[in-house]
A and B are shown apart, each in its own frame.
Chain A
């Protein structure tokens, strides 16, 4: 984005639209701003505010408690354990969703005949809503009829999803990755198709090894897409896997792995500890902020935008 100065700057000036009234642009922006305000800024401000209060579980009043919600959360070994699981979960889901999506896109891109069929088959999983994906995933991992469980048993692995911590974690990661692959696939595929054919051909004349060509020419040219997907996937793993986790651990969270977002929900709506829950969500907000800044500062630098 920083690289796109110079020429493109001039083009935007040339395209600039003149409004008759200086308020008109704001009027056009108003609906979007209203939505962002109502659904993002307002709740954020409320969360920050209530994170400093201890709320009565029945809504009769709130007591100002300063930072104690935060210190309670950060001192809790349970919370730190969940944080560690969330980090591992996010890293694994992002890594596998991106790499499998990329692998499928590269392979589908190489198919010449019937590739529309391939693409459709790979894309339509994305049309499934997260709770439904969670349900289908649960069925895969069902104790009695789940094909994955059966397969695991074949290898001598007695899988107990919903009872055993690591088995549940495994199922969660698999279903979350499975759900995200089509999204990554679509973007990687369109990214691949955006690479000029002649550049690939030039590379084919310059380098015999297809594998090496992929690492030295194709992947660097896919970097903008990959960087965008990295941010999207991290966000997905942190927040959007809620539905999957909810379906998998509902009512029996006791010994099951959950992520920070689910913990926020559990404490706030099940445990009625709105103050502690708000403090957690503020912490989560800060973590995501730092992560995003880090990604833009240190990873985007290596991305070439053509």
Chain B
């Protein structure tokens, strides 16, 4: 168990392509960090640099205060779980577990004990004599986990370990990984492109885009106060609505609509306004509202996604009992609006907390400053 410090790490390939651009993350001992982003954002490259499967072009990585830039992958005291499991096909499950230990000259009795313990933890005891070929996808996934666990490493590295599983299994394995990590208390670095996986697993998540960090924060911080339009559209499902608007003298203009905000605006002039679909609701009589023309409806059972336009495309998540019509009046909770710069997409923070109510949004918005170093430690929300 150890802390991992990633300091200004870059990956530059032959020919000058920069896959990771000066990324810094401080990972505390026992913390579960999820790297999330679209494909090509450099998250896997970053993980592989920590693992030693890619060289570190610039910057430094330390595990437990030991600089590991030039340390052999096998000596870094890490264990990795691969996307396609990467089990040794010619070895039994037992040998898959034991291989790394044998190569480290672990005594036989100790190997037996550790394999037995991991197999019990993962409930794969009956399969120890089988070859990976004779296992189902979920079982292989457990073996891959077990192979990492028996090593008792300082850190686990996960490279999209669940993306080869079907949806149902993915949900249960997700829970299992979280449970195991809590129980073992091993520092973990987990790569995924699935924002839901990122939200549910992470102690803190790191949103990457184009090789750079967009935001680091606890899942709810990132959800409630996305640092940029990219994070806003990436985290949360359905994606946050982003519409063009203009702030002018305490009022927000969207198309022909004008809404009184009732608090000092973070800027004047054109902005991008972020609205979570679940924050939108049917307007009560006499309330200030947007005229919403409905295009089509997706029924999800517990809620209903209504897609339409308020002179710009918008999606609202409404309760299924709310009446539907071609035209709806949609109310916006003004204190749950997000404002982003129209030029660079960065979050615009409100000058002062608006009304001091039990509003999580304002509470967070003031602290998550866009600092150069992203490791902002915050108190938990709620």
Contact = CB atoms under 8 A, between A and B. Distances in A.
B233 interface: no
Among the interface residues B80, B90, B103, which one has the most CB atoms of the partner chain A within 10 A? B90
B82 A201 contact: yes
B90 A206 contact: no
B8 to A, nearest CB: 25
Contact of A198 (B72, B84, B147): B84
Nearest to B89: A306
Interface string A188-217: 000000001011011111111100100011
Contact of A205 (B78, B87, B88, B89): B78
A205 B99 contact: no
A3 to B, nearest CB: 8
B79 interface: yes
A304 interface: yes
A202 B89 contact: no
B74 A208 contact: yes
A203 B53 CA distance: 11
Nearest to A303: B90
Contact of B100 (A199, A207, A304, A306): A207
Contacts of A304: 89-90, 131
A220 B90 contact: yes
B74 A221 contact: no
B90 A221 contact: yes
Given A221-B90, A304-B90, A205 B100 contact: yes
A205 B103 contact: no
Nearest to B157: A205
A198 B82 contact: yes
Contacts of A203: 88, 99
Nearest to A112: B14
A206 B144 CA distance: 13
B51 interface: yes
B103 A207 contact: yes
Given A199-B89, A220-B90, A205 B51 contact: yes
B62 to A, nearest CB: 18
B82 to A, nearest CB: 5
Contacts of A209: 103
Contacts of B370: none
A306 B80 contact: no
Main secondary structure of the interface of B (DSSP, over half): loop
Contacts of B79: 205
Contacts of B72: 208
Interface in B69-104: 72-75, 78-80, 82-84, 86-90, 99-100, 103
Interface string B85-126: 011111000000001100100000000000000000000000
A196 B164 CA distance: 16
A206 B89 contact: no
Contacts of A207: 74, 99-100, 103
Given A207-B74, A208-B74, A202 B90 contact: no
Nearest to B84: A198
Nearest to A197: B86
A204 B53 contact: yes
Given A201-B53, A306-B133, A206 B86 contact: no
Contacts of A216: 99
B100 A198 contact: no
A235 to B, nearest CB: 26
A202 B73 CA distance: 10
A204 B75 CA distance: 10
Contacts of B90: 220-221, 223, 304, 306
Given A201-B82, A202-B86, A208 B100 contact: no
B103 A206 contact: yes
Nearest to B103: A207
A198 B80 CA distance: 10
A196 B99 contact: no
A185 to B, nearest CB: 23
A224 to B, nearest CB: 10
A199 B83 CA distance: 11
A268 B359 CA distance: 102
A201 B157 CA distance: 13
Contact of B74 (A198, A205, A306): A205
B86 A198 contact: yes
A223 B89 CA distance: 12
Contacts of A217: 88
Interface string A278-306: 00000000000000000000000000101
A209 B83 CA distance: 24
A172 B163 CA distance: 56
Nearest to B132: A306
Contact of A201 (B75, B86, B131): B86
Contact of A199 (B78, B86, B103, B133): B86
Contacts of A199: 86-89
17 contacts: A196-B86, A198-B82, A199-B86, A199-B87, A201-B51, A202-B80, A202-B147, A203-B88, A205-B73, A205-B79, A206-B103, A207-B74, A207-B99, A208-B103, A209-B103, A216-B99, A217-B88
Given A204-B53, A220-B90, 4 more contacts: A201-B86, A207-B103, A306-B89, A306-B133
